[in-house]
Amino acid sequence: MHVFGDDFDLARFKAAFNTKDDLAAYHDVQAVERAIGRVQNYVGDLAKAGVRLVDLPSQPEGGAGFRARQAFEALRDTGIIDAELCGGLVQAQRDRSMIEHEYVRLPAGKVHETAVLVKETAADFIELFRAWIEPYLD
């Protein structure tokens, strides 16, 4: 994200996203897209593992994205994360899936928005998750 400016400039990202001849810029966009998926998958995996480890009430069914949403909701229902963060994590999970499966049809602005959302929610989630899960790891 830093390649597109200290503030992850939307205009610079869009120009690179829509380029037809700048291969380096295209690779920078692809790196952001790949990072969105990897970070959000990591956050979802942490949530699912935490719910299983502590045996929180959850009904894990459906695909991985659906199970991650259920884990986020179980953490919300138990008070580990608040409703606002849960909503952001669920939206980031949906957007990650959309980017991975419909990337060709997505506008640059949606990918940019999702990158910012994943960056913010992942950092908030990991801080709260770590404080909650550490006692269970002893």
Q: At what angle do helices 108-133 and 10-17 cross, to 10 degrees?
A: 120
What pLDDT score was predicted for residue 100?
A: 87
Sign of CA dihedral 59, 63, 67, 70: negative
Q: How many structural domains does the chain have?
A: 1
Indicate if the pLDDT at residue 90 is higher than 90. yes
Tell me the pLDDT band of 14, cut-offs 50, 70 and 90. very high
Tell me the pLDDT band of 102, cut-offs 50, 70 and 90. confident
Q: Does residue 1 belong to any structural domain of this protein?
A: no
The boundaries of the domain holding residue 62 are 29-137
Q: Does residue 10 belong to any structural domain of this protein?
A: no
Q: Over the chain, what is the mean pLDDT? A: 92
The C-alpha atoms of residue 135 and residue 38 are separated, in whole angstroms, by: 26
What pLDDT score was predicted for residue 95?
A: 95
Give the least confident one: 27-31, 66-70, 102-106.
102-106
Indicate if the pLDDT at residue 112 is higher than 90. yes
Q: Does residue 53 belong to any structural domain of this protein?
A: yes
Q: Does residue 16 belong to any structural domain of this protein?
A: no
* DSSP state, residue 81: S
What pLDDT score was predicted for residue 62?
A: 56
What pLDDT score was predicted for residue 65?
A: 53
Q: Does residue 56 belong to any structural domain of this protein?
A: yes
**Among 53, 50, 38, 47, CA closest to 66:** 47
Q: Does residue 85 belong to any structural domain of this protein?
A: yes
CATH code of 129's domain: 1.20.120
Q: Does residue 111 belong to any structural domain of this protein?
A: yes
Query: Structure tokens of 7?
Result: 């503030």
- What's the mean pLDDT in 117-136? 96
Q: Does residue 8 belong to any structural domain of this protein?
A: no
- What is the reported pTM? 0.89
What pLDDT score was predicted for residue 18?
A: 94
Query: Quick check: 51 and 67 in contact, CB under 8 A?
Result: no
